[in-house]
Amino acid sequence: MICLFYSFVKVKAIKQLGKRAD
């Protein structure tokens, strides 16, 4: 469960970075 949550947060952070970069 923790792994999935961590992955979700990671993806969210990456999306945020990508949005800012764009």
Cα(7)–Cα(2) distance, integer angstroms: 8
Is residue 22 predicted with pLDDT exceeding 70? no
Show Cβ contacts of residue 21 under 8 Å, excluding neighbours closer than 6 positions: none
Is residue 20 predicted with pLDDT exceeding 90? no
pLDDT digits (tens, 9 = 90+) for 1-19: 788 999 999 999 999 988 8
Task: Look at residue 21 in the predicted model and tell me its pLDDT.
Answer: 64
